[in-house]
């Protein structure tokens, strides 16, 4: 153990001497490692940040949730849109039938939405709001958090009371710092009482934040617009019970929908069952391609840097040939000489790798402060950068170190 620490200490000293005595040559060789590590870790950091933010948005949908819709979420080059364009939209009648029949569901909810609506309170108004209408089971199919007020009561949903729950941004735009609960707003020409405010969620990469939404009971919405109209994007949301797997819920839902629509055996479905795993799988494919791009681009820089490190090590062996001869004449084993130069090569690569990681960290700080997007350099990426540097150091330094370890001590001293 003492020998290993002594080897590492000497390797650091020799590496530092090489950097100090030949600043330009060593710096140019390390530049390839620095750029390579910077590109790879910067790409991985950006991908991880995007993946986590998008995945957080996808997770809001629920891992055990299915959406009965007209169009499937997955698109491809040979997307058969003509098969889907004439499908019927999920209807309120479909919802009522599924609600009675589904045994594996925790909640079955019918939802519609109308975008770009204006919400008013006295002289204040907020434009571009999304008006959502849902049946009472909305809180069973979505994870809702409130910063003020409450959810609809059974009686409010059943009787179609003029009540609403609004997003935090709309509440701030209409009421400022005042408490909105209990106040009346105007939407779609109707006076509506605010009973709750959703908790502020912030920016959402997939546009699923509740901050700019207003939710009203479905029975109240029936008096405002046609809830089965295609322009309002009707959908049925089904969340399975925690104790039941998604595949089982999906199988039952598919069978029940076919029964409700009276689809004959062998006939194609006229509805789509969408789920979050579809999005997750597509994200994995997309981010995997980006990661490979980072590896390829960064790999070329690391390859060039590796050749540079190998060149430095061959020069170092040449310059210290007589020292190697003296060490061997004093009893130094071949493995000692081998490890000494390999450690030196690893130290040089680590210097380049740490410079690359430092640049990535500075980039995350700049992007976080300027773009208002939190970018995090994860520990896994730091370990990856250090690991790649060590591997390149071992590969680049092995042959020079091996040639040094095989030198004849007499010939080495005489040189």
335 or 94, higher pLDDT: 94
Q: Among 237-241, 283-287, 300-304, 393-397, whose mean pLDDT is lowest?
A: 283-287
Phi, psi for residue 122 in degrees, rounded to 5: 55, -120
Say what the pLDDT of residue 61 is: 65
337 or 246, higher pLDDT: 246
258 or 343, higher pLDDT: 258
What's the rounded Cα separation, in Å, for the pair 283 and 50?
A: 10
pLDDT at 288 over 90: no
187-203 per-position pLDDT tens digit: 888 999 999 999 988 76
Say what the pLDDT of residue 219 is: 92
pLDDT at 216 over 80: yes
Say what the pLDDT of residue 47 is: 82
- pLDDT-derived band at 62 (thresholds 50, 70, 90) equals low
pLDDT at 293 over 70: yes
131-154 per-position pLDDT tens digit: 999 999 999 888 888 999 999 999
pLDDT at 326 over 60: yes
Beta strand 65-69 with 272-275 is antiparallel
pLDDT at 309 over 90: no
pLDDT at 34 over 90: no
Say what the pLDDT of residue 323 is: 77
Say what the pLDDT of residue 301 is: 79
Q: Among 37-46, 67-76, 330-339, whose mean pLDDT is lowest?
A: 330-339
pLDDT at 222 over 80: yes
Say what the pLDDT of residue 122 is: 86
Average pLDDT, the chain: 84
């Amino acid at each position: 153990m003492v020998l290993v620490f002594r080897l590492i200490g000497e390797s650091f000293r020799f590496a530092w001497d090489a950097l100090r005595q030949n600043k330009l040559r060593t710096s140019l060789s390390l530049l390839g490692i620095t750029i390579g590590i910077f590109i790879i870790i910067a790409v991985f950091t950006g991908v991880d940040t995007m993946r986590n933010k998008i995945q957080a948005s996808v997770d809001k949908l629920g891992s055990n949730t299915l959406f009965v819709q007209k169009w499937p979420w997955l698109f491809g080059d040979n997307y058969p849109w003509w098969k889907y364009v004439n499908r019927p939209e999920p209807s309120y009648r479909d919802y009522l039938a599924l609600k009675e029949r589904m045994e594996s569901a925790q909640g079955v909810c019918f939802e519609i939405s109308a975008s770009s609506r204006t919400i008013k309170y006295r002289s204040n108004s907020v434009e571009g709001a999304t008006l959502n209408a849902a049946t009472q089971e909305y809180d069973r199919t979505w994870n809702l958090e409130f910063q003020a007020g409450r959810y609809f009561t059974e009686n409010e949903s059943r009787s179609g009371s003029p009540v609403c729950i609004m997003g935090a941004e709309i509440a701030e735009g209409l009421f400022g710092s005042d408490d909105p609960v209990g106040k009346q707003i105007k939407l779609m020409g109707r006076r509506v009482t605010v009973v709750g405010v959703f908790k502020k969620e912030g920016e959402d990469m997939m546009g699923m934040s509740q901050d700019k939404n207003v939710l009203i009971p479905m029975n109240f919405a029936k008096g405002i617009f046609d809830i089965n109209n295609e322009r309002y994007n009707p959908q049925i949301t089904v969340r399975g019970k925690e104790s039941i797997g998604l595949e089982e819920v999906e199988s039952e839902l598919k069978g029940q929908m076919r029964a409700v629509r009276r689809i004959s055996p062998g006939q194609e479905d006229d509805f789509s069952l969408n789920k979050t795993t579809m999005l997750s799988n597509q994200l994995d494919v997309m981010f995997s391609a980006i990661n490979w791009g980072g590896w390829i681009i960064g790999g070329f820089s690391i390859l060039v840097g590796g050749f540079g490190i190998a060149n430095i090590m061959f020069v170092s062996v040449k310059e210290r040939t007589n020292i190697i001869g003296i060490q061997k004449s004093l009893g130094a084993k071949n493995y000692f000489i081998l490890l000494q130069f390999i450690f030196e090569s690893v130290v040089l690569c680590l210097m380049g790798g740490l410079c690359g990681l430092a640049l990535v960290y500075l980039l995350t700080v700049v992007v976080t402060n300027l773009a208002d997007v939190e970018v995090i350099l994860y520990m896994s990426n730091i370990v990856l950068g250090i690991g790649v540097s060590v591997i390149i150091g071992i590969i680049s330094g092995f042959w020079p170190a091996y040639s040094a370890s095989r030198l004849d001590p007499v010939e080495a001293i005489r040189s």
